[in-house]
Each structure stands twice: as structure tokens, then as C-alpha cells.
Amino acid sequence: MSDRATLSTVAARAGVSPSTASLAFAGSPRVAPATVERVLRAAGELGYAGPDPIAASLRRGRSGVVGAVIGERLLYAFRDPVAVQMLDGLTEVLGELGVGLLLLAGDGGPAPAQLGRLPLDAAVFATCGLEDDPAFRLLRARRVPLVAVEGPVVAGVPLVDIEDRQGTVELAAHLRELGHRRVAMVTMPLRLDGRRGPVDADRLATGVYRDTRERLLGAREVFADLPAVETASNGIEEGEQAGAALLSGPDRPTAILAQSDLLAAGVLRAAAARGLAVPGDLSVAGFDGADLPWLAPVRLTTVVQPTAEKGRAAGRAVVALLAGEVPPDVVFPVVLRPGTTTGPAPA
Amino acid sequence: MSDRATLSTVAARAGVSPSTASLAFAGSPRVAPATVERVLRAAGELGYAGPDPIAASLRRGRSGVVGAVIGERLLYAFRDPVAVQMLDGLTEVLGELGVGLLLLAGDGGPAPAQLGRLPLDAAVFATCGLEDDPAFRLLRARRVPLVAVEGPVVAGVPLVDIEDRQGTVELAAHLRELGHRRVAMVTMPLRLDGRRGPVDADRLATGVYRDTRERLLGAREVFADLPAVETASNGIEEGEQAGAALLSGPDRPTAILAQSDLLAAGVLRAAAARGLAVPGDLSVAGFDGADLPWLAPVRLTTVVQPTAEKGRAAGRAVVALLAGEVPPDVVFPVVLRPGTTTGPAPA
DNA sequence: CCGCTCCATCGAATCGATTTGACAGGGTAG
DNA sequence: CTACCCTGTCAAATCGATTCGATGGAGCGG
């Protein structure tokens, strides 16, 4: 049981210098095929499977690992098809580079302090438009190249964004045209503190999620004092709960805008529970254009965002950063997609 | 714009040796508080955020990164609540260790060859009972400590498993007691080659997913020649398609066992599309005990497996491996949970 | 037969930290 | 006053590869 073989061991056995052995493993054209062969055989005999990635990382100054910071706990974040699709797009681009995606979950992931001990070439703030995040500050201090998806907006950090505001404006306008006047919104969390309920000015001001805020403000551009109910997380049950609250109030809205398709699905359930016909009694709309096969045959009216493309754009930004370039900010347009859940306001 | 500061730079500025500076950052009790202070101040002045993780990794021989090999493409794998829950359990344990989870997706992830270039302390084969996987062989050759969840079963690789077989037997027995005789199964993929349709002996023999095979064999222990239809991936639409195929055949089954809750949801949709009452005309059962809130108020008859606990167990196995121990194999029991989707066979 | 070019290989510096055992120097006990 | 111990600091070895620029030798043309 000898010591584990190293590149030098192998080189010695092959009768070449470590430099040559290294070149051989790297597949450099400058080394003769016969030599490569000899090195590989020596490696085989010694049970050497190739250069140690950590040592190579040190020398190269690159680890081949890119972090994806997920705000929430994995379990909740991945219930969200949008998050998953985004990450899929991200891996698509990074995978080609031979780079791995390291998941950094807000909860259950490495504690912020530990985060600095991980060998990251770059990090993407993925599902969190979170402003003033300790993880963000830590990585900045470490000079880890960063990409922000939907925020935070910080100078020097390339941003990949969508037209949250504009999209919601269009959606709201659509409902207005349909004759709706009593419209309410179910929002995603403004902060991750488990709070639910009506959103007042204070709460809005202290919110840290840009997308949540933007979508709310967009709707209010059309319906000036549209009431909003905040959920504690972006999930169906939360949507149902918030929907139920809105529907049981005195002035029942004729339309509910949910800030995500997942929340909208919950609102639909709340409506069904109350025996309300959609869109006869109540119109419901979402946001994201998520792929929710179980919703069929209902087609949710929603605002479609290019989720996977967002991930790919983030991936490309990472690639650019690693190449020493300064990637431009990107803002993707969104498109209103009317479905079967919105209709004329009841008389 | 000087060179980036290193530990030595900082040490020099603080008027101590690099060794002391290192100890200071490591929080060693052997270094005087005043010295620590001095070092930290010097670091602050130089904009040094702490020791370089890669260099530290090399010296320590640990990178703090654990790989999670996902068989499929991220997008599909994460549609599966079971996979997500498993990973959540895994991060829960690894997070405490300050270790990050690196996602290695079969598709879109780093190509197998690149996989060897990533600095992994260990890897978990997460959602793939896949036998004879190139990634698996590669990592084994590299001597990366491995943990297998539901396979592959290889000597020296700790296994975290559930009683797939026994669970399906119980489920099938339940249906038999309800009087069902014409029972069919919708299976998960046996290989990832996009194939769909009836499972014959050949196909079963060349399958690489242990869980799929075991669940089928379990059902056949009760219903000897129970017909099975394979899906191309574990998703609702796939389940619907397979269900439709089974329901449109000549001898319509009175019960369909789906190998996962997701597939079962699809079968339910296929039944609904045909106007079949569940469980009046058709009983449907799943497997996993997944959390599918949108299925409410229907409660799927299923076999509950401790998904998150499986992830935690895998995490503990990794921890043990990293500590140089040899973790034992673990097999979790499963429990039949009758719901509202199974009932007596129609007369 | 000489000089030049080109090709394959090698030397040596470097990446940035960790860690152990040794060593000053001051304090205490005998 | 001496011997010893403890505390805080340091020197040096090590982790394992990568990467130029340099070098030796073979082949070629003149």
C-alpha cells in the first residue's frame, strides 16, 4: 500500500519529466504520441487517474466551480418551476464549459461564514432579488465575480432582469379593458420573515425583493390603490390562503392578480372552494408562464417570461466574467398570454 | 493597483510570520489576541478577505465540495418532488459541515470527462439507481468516496436504499384484497433512451434502474404476469400517456399501479379524460408519498417512503466517509398509505 | 560538412496556504 | 540564583500540479 501516485511518480516511471507528463495529460500537441502512450501506461500501472483537480486549480487559479445562491431553502425554492427552469438554463451554458454548479441554499446550505471557504470561480444570485444579502457582501469582499438575476442592483455586478413592471402593467391593463375595477393582488414575499397579510406602505418600503415590489408597483400603475396580500412563500398553499382571505372580505374583487403562476394556482383553488366560477365570477391571472401540467385543461392567463433564457443569459455573463470581460446588463421582455382564467367583469 | 494581497503580504504588514497570520485566521488559541487584532487590521487595510480557499484546499486535501450526481437533466429531475426532497435532506446534513453541494446533471452538466477535473471530496449518486454509469466509473477510478442512493450496488460503496420491493408487494396485495384481478403497472424508465411502451422480458433484463425493476418485480410477486408500460421519464404527461394506452386497450384494467406519485397523477388525468370514475371504475395507486398539493382534495393511495430521511442518511454517510469511517448500508422501510383513489374492484 | 530550423522534452519557478516541531523569553518554583 | 515550564511566534517542509523559456538533437538545405 504505497503512497498515492502523483504526477511526478508517474513521470518517473514513464522516464520523463513531470512537465512532460503534465503536458501529456493535458493533451498538448507538443508531446510525441509515443510519449503520451508511455505516460498513460505508467499511470495505468500506478492506478493514477489524472492530475489532482485541487492542485491544478491552485496553479490555474480556477476551480471550475460556480456557485448558485438560492435564497430560500432548497425544498421551497425548487417547488417553484421558474427557479428550476432558470437553473436548467444556467447549467446548460455552464455545462459546456465543464463547470459545475454549486448550490448555496439560504437555509441548510453552508453558513455564510463557511461560504468564504468554498473555491468558487464566480457566483450567480439566482432566485433572490434580495437586496443587502450577507452572502452577497461576503462574496463581494472576496472579489468573487458575481452575476445577479433580478437583483440586487449593484454597480459592477452584471444584472439579468426581466420587465417585471411593464409586464404587470400590461396584465393589469388587460383586466381593466375587460371591465374589472375591483382588483386585488397576491404577492410573493417582500422579505423572508414568514409574514403574511395585507401589504401596507411600510412593509413595501422595507421589502428586499425587487421582483415582488416591481410587480406590485406595476399593477398599481393601473389600479392606483389596488390592495395586496403578501404570502410567506411562493407556493400553492400560500396562494390559496391569500386568495381565501381576499375572497372572504367584504368587497370581493372581481379579479385577482397573483404574482406568480404558483400563487395563481392557489387562488384558483380558493375560488373553487368557494364555488366561484372562473372566469365567470372571478378572473385570475398569474405571472411567469410556468409549466404546470397539472393545471390542464385550464389555461392560466399570465405574463410569460423567458425563464430558461434568463438562466442562459446568466450563464453567458459568468462565462464573460471568467474571460475577464465586462458583460452588459440584460433585460428580457415579457409577453402577456391570455388564457381561460380571465374574462369580462361580472355585471 | 497592486497585486492581490496574499497571506504573506498581510503577515509582513502586520509584522508577523505567515505561519502566525495563518493561525490567526484559523482562530487558533495559541496566538495572542493582540496579534490576531494586528493581523486582521493589516488584512483590512490590504483588502484581504481571508485565505484563498483553493490554496487551503490543496494543503488540507479537502475542497469542501460534495457532488450530487443527478441522472437526468436538471429540469426533469427537479420536477420530481422526491428528488428535490432528497436533495433537501442531503443539504441539511452537509450544510452543517460547511460543505457545498455541487450539482452534476447527466445532461447539461459537465461532460463526464470534465467531471474528473472538479475538486470533489465525495459524491452522492442521488436520483439514479443507475447501474454501470460512466460517471460512476470515472469517480471510482479517481478514488472519490461515493455514496449510492438506491443503487448502483457496488462493493465498497455505501448504499442508502428503501424497500422498493416490499412496498410494491404490499400495495399490490392491498389491491388484490380489494378484489382486483386485472391490474397493470406504469413504470418509470428502465433506461434513459426515451423509450415508451410495454415492458417485455428483454427490456426488463437490460434495464439499468434498480428501483424501476424492483418495483415491477414486487408487483409481479402478487400479480404474476401483470402487464407494464414504461414511460420515458418520471412526469405527469408521461403518466397520462401511459395511462391512456392502458385504458384504451381491450381488457381494461380495474386498477393501475404507477411507480411514482407523479405518474399516478398522470394516470388520474387519463382516467378523467375517459370519464372513468376513480375509484369506482378504476383504482389508481402511486409510490413515494410525494407532496403534491395540487392533487387535493384527492388523496392518492401510495407507498410512503422517508424521502428527506434518505437524503439525510446519504449526508451522514458522506460525513462518515470523510471522517475515514466505513458507513453501513441503510435500508429504509416504507409504509402503505391508502387514500381515496383505490377501492373495491368493480363488479 | 556546416549551420540553421524545428521538434520534443526538460528545469525551475510558482500558485497560496497549513502545520509541526523548535525556540526565545519571561515567569515561577525550589 | 538556577532550572524549568509555559506561552506566543516562527522557520521550513509540504500539498501536486502548470507553464514558460531554454536546450539538445535530429533533419534539412546549401
Query: What CATH number corresponds to the domain at position B31?
Result: 1.10.260.40
| Chain A contact set for B57 (CB, 8 A) | 54, 57-58, 119
Query: Nearest CA of chain B to the CA of A202: how many Å?
Result: 32
Q: What pLDDT sits at residue A108?
A: 59
CB contact under 8 A, B78 and A74: no
Helix (H) / strand (E) element for B101: namely strand B100-105
Counting Cβ atoms within 10 Å, is residue A187 exposed (0-12), middle (13-18) or buried (19+)? buried
Query: Nearest CA of chain B to the CA of A205: how many Å?
Result: 32
Read off the pLDDT of residues A250-281 as tens digits, 9 standing for 90 and up: 889 999 999 999 999 999 999 999 999 989 99
Helix (H) / strand (E) element for A86: namely helix A81-96
Helix (H) / strand (E) element for A217: namely helix A210-222
Q: List for chain B the helix, strand, coil content (%; round to 5).
A: 45, 15, 40
Q: What whole-number percentage of chain B has pLDDT above 90?
A: 72
**A230 contacts A254 by C-beta, under 8 angstroms:** no
Query: Nearest CA of chain A to the CA of B100: how many Å?
Result: 6
How many whole angstroms separate alpha carbon B96 and alpha carbon B102?
A: 16
How many whole angstroms separate alpha carbon B223 and alpha carbon B180?
A: 10
Residue B128: which pLDDT band, with cuts at 50, 70 and 90?
A: low
Q: Is residue B127 included in any domain, yes or no?
A: yes
Helix (H) / strand (E) element for A58: namely helix A53-60
Supply A120's cell numbers: 468558487
Q: What pLDDT sits at residue A71?
A: 76
pLDDT surpasses 70 at B144: yes
What average pLDDT does range A204-223 have in this prediction? 93
**One domain, residues B115 and B176:** no
Residue A1: which pLDDT band, with cuts at 50, 70 and 90?
A: very low
Q: Which chain A residues in 141-170 lie under 8 Å from chain B, judged by CB atoms?
A: 141-143
What average pLDDT does range B225-249 have in this prediction? 94
Query: Nearest CA of chain A to the CA of B141: how many Å?
Result: 6
Instruction: List the single protein residue with the shortest CA to C1' distance from C15.
Output: A59
Task: Identify the residue with better confidence: A58 or A76.
Answer: A58
Q: Is residue B47 included in any domain, yes or no?
A: yes
Q: Is residue A192 included in any domain, yes or no?
A: yes
Q: Output the CA torsion sign for A22, A25, A26, A31.
A: positive
**One domain, residues A182 and A279:** yes
Q: Is the CB of B54 under 7 A from strand D?
A: no
Supply A67's cell numbers: 456557485
Whether cis (ω within 30° of 0) applies to the bond prior to A297 is yes
pLDDT surpasses 80 at A296: no
End-to-end CA distance of chain A: 85
A273 Cβ under 8 Å from any chain B Cβ? no
CB contact under 8 A, B237 and A81: no
| Chain A contact set for B269 (CB, 8 A) | 294, 296
**A102 contacts B101 by C-beta, under 8 angstroms:** yes
Q: Is the CB of B6 under 7 A from strand D?
A: no
How many whole angstroms separate alpha carbon A241 and alpha carbon A233?
A: 11
CB contact under 8 A, A73 and B88: yes
Q: How many CA atoms lie within 13 A of A29 on its CB side?
A: 0
**One domain, residues B102 and B190:** no
Residue B47: which pLDDT band, with cuts at 50, 70 and 90?
A: very high
**A191 contacts A232 by C-beta, under 8 angstroms:** no
Interface residue of A66, A73, A78 to substitute, partner B, most B CBs within 10 Å: A78
DSSP bridge partners of B256: B184, B284
Q: What pLDDT sits at residue B109?
A: 62
**One domain, residues B81 and B192:** no
Query: Nearest CA of chain A to the CA of B117: how many Å?
Result: 5
Mean pLDDT comparison of A88-97, A123-132, B252-261, highest-scoring range: B252-261
Q: Is residue A342 included in any domain, yes or no?
A: no
Residue B3: which pLDDT band, with cuts at 50, 70 and 90?
A: low
**One domain, residues B175 and B261:** yes
Q: Is the CB of A23 under 7 A from strand D?
A: yes
Q: Is residue A275 included in any domain, yes or no?
A: yes
Interface size A-B, in CB pairs within 8 Å, comes to 176
Q: Which residue in A54, A111, A265 is closest to B58 by CB distance? A: A54
Residue A107: which pLDDT band, with cuts at 50, 70 and 90?
A: low
Instruction: Determine the nucleotide nearest to A20 by Cα–C1' distance.
Output: C9
**B228 contacts B199 by C-beta, under 8 angstroms:** yes
Residue A136: which pLDDT band, with cuts at 50, 70 and 90?
A: confident
Query: Nearest CA of chain B to the CA of A344: how many Å?
Result: 27
Q: What are the residues whose beta carbons fall under 8 Å from the beta carbon of A246, sequence distance 6 or more?
A: A184, A186, A227, A229, A252, A253, A256, A267, A270
Q: Which residue in B98, B103, B113 is closest to A103 by CB distance? A: B103
A331 Cβ under 8 Å from any chain B Cβ? no
Q: Which residue in B105, B113, B237 is closest to A293 by CB distance? A: B237
> Helix H segments across A98-209?
112-115, 134-141, 164-177, 201-205
Supply A272's cell numbers: 373553487
Q: What pLDDT sits at residue A130?
A: 66
Q: What pLDDT sits at residue A119?
A: 95
**One domain, residues A152 and A141:** yes
CA dihedral B69, B71, B72, B73 (to 10 degrees): 20
Strands in chain A per DSSP E: 65-70, 100-105, 122-125, 146-149, 159-162, 183-187, 197-198, 228-230, 255-258, 283-285, 302-304, 330-332, 335-337
CB distance under 7 Å to strand C: residues: A 15-20, 23, 29-32, 34-35, 58-59, 61; B 4, 6-8, 18-19, 22-23, 25-26, 48, 51-52, 55-56, 58-60
**One domain, residues B32 and B70:** no
Distance of B31 CA from D5 C1′ (whole Å): 18
Q: Is residue A343 included in any domain, yes or no?
A: no
Q: Considering only alpha carbons, which residue of chain B is nearest residue A86?
A: B75
User: How far is it between the farthest Cα atoms of chain B?
Assistant: 90
Quote the number of domains for chain A.
Answer: 3
What average pLDDT does range A105-111 have in this prediction? 68
| Chain A contact set for B118 (CB, 8 A) | 53, 63-65, 100
Read off the pLDDT of residues A7-45 as tens digits, 9 standing for 90 and up: 999 999 999 999 999 999 998 888 889 999 999 999 999
CB contact under 8 A, B104 and A103: no
How many whole angstroms separate alpha carbon A189 and alpha carbon A207?
A: 8
Write out the residue range of the structural domain in which residue B83 sits: 65-162+307-332
CB contact under 8 A, A100 and B101: no
Q: Is residue B340 included in any domain, yes or no?
A: no
Q: Which residue in A98, A104, A118 is closest to B110 by CB distance? A: A98
Q: What whole-number percentage of chain A has pLDDT above 70?
A: 97
How many whole angstroms separate alpha carbon A118 and alpha carbon B290?
A: 33
pLDDT surpasses 70 at B281: yes
- Which residue's entry shows cell 406519485? B261
pLDDT surpasses 60 at B1: no
pLDDT surpasses 50 at B142: yes
Looking at strand D, which nucleotides approach a protein CB closer than 7 A? 7-12, 14-20
Helix (H) / strand (E) element for A53: namely helix A53-60
- Which residue's entry shows cell 450496488? B153
How many whole angstroms separate alpha carbon B276 and alpha carbon A171?
A: 38
> Helix H segments across chain B?
7-14, 18-26, 33-46, 53-60, 74-77, 81-96, 112-115, 134-141, 164-177, 201-205, 210-222, 236-248, 261-273, 307-322
Q: Which chain B residues in 225-264 lie under 8 Å from chain A, judged by CB atoms?
A: 235-237
Q: Considering only alpha carbons, which residue of chain B is nearest residue A85?
A: B75
Helix (H) / strand (E) element for A221: namely helix A210-222
DSSP state of B159: E
**One domain, residues B316 and B287:** no
Reduced to 3 states (helix: H, G, I; strand: E, B; else coil), residue B67 is strand
Read off the pLDDT of residues B188-221 as tens digits, 9 standing for 90 and up: 999 888 899 999 999 999 888 889 999 999 999 9
Q: Considering only alpha carbons, which residue of chain A is nearest residue B73?
A: A88
Task: Identify the residue with better confidence: B153 or B184.
Answer: B184
**One domain, residues B205 and B142:** no
CB contact under 8 A, A293 and B85: no
**One domain, residues A301 and A311:** no
B65 Cβ under 8 Å from any chain A Cβ? yes
How many whole angstroms separate alpha carbon A203 and alpha carbon A190?
A: 8
Q: What are the residues whose beta carbons fall under 8 Å from the beta carbon of A236, sequence distance 6 or more?
A: A262, A263, A265, A266, A269, B293, B294
Read off the pLDDT of residues B78-116 as tens digits, 9 standing for 90 and up: 888 898 899 999 999 998 888 999 998 876 566 677 888
Q: Is residue A132 included in any domain, yes or no?
A: yes
What CATH number is given to the structural domain containing B82? 3.40.50.2300
What average pLDDT does range A100-126 have in this prediction? 84
DSSP state of A88: H
Q: Which chain A residues in 174-203 lie under 8 Å from chain B, judged by CB atoms?
A: none
Q: Is the CB of A59 under 7 A from strand D?
A: yes
What average pLDDT does range A193-202 have in this prediction? 92
**One domain, residues A202 and A157:** no
Indicate the residue type of A104: L
Range with the poorest average pLDDT among A66-80, A135-149, A172-186: A66-80
Residue B333: which pLDDT band, with cuts at 50, 70 and 90?
A: very high
Counting Cβ atoms within 10 Å, is residue B70 exposed (0-12), middle (13-18) or buried (19+)? buried
| Chain B contact set for A143 (CB, 8 A) | 4, 49
Q: Which residue in A53, A91, A113 is closest to B74 by CB distance? A: A91
What average pLDDT does range A150-156 have in this prediction? 84
**A252 contacts A224 by C-beta, under 8 angstroms:** no
Q: Output the CA torsion sign for A66, A72, A78, A82.
A: negative
CB contact under 8 A, B91 and A108: yes
- Which residue's entry shows cell 460534495? B66
Q: Which residue in A85, A142, A236 is closest to B294 by CB distance? A: A236
**One domain, residues B147 and B29:** no
Average pLDDT, chain A: 91
Distance of B50 CA from C18 C1′ (whole Å): 14
Length of chain A: 347
Read off the pLDDT of residues B235-245 as tens digits, 9 standing for 90 and up: 999 999 999 99
**B312 contacts B88 by C-beta, under 8 angstroms:** no
Nearest to B228 by CA among B185, B190, B267, B169: B185
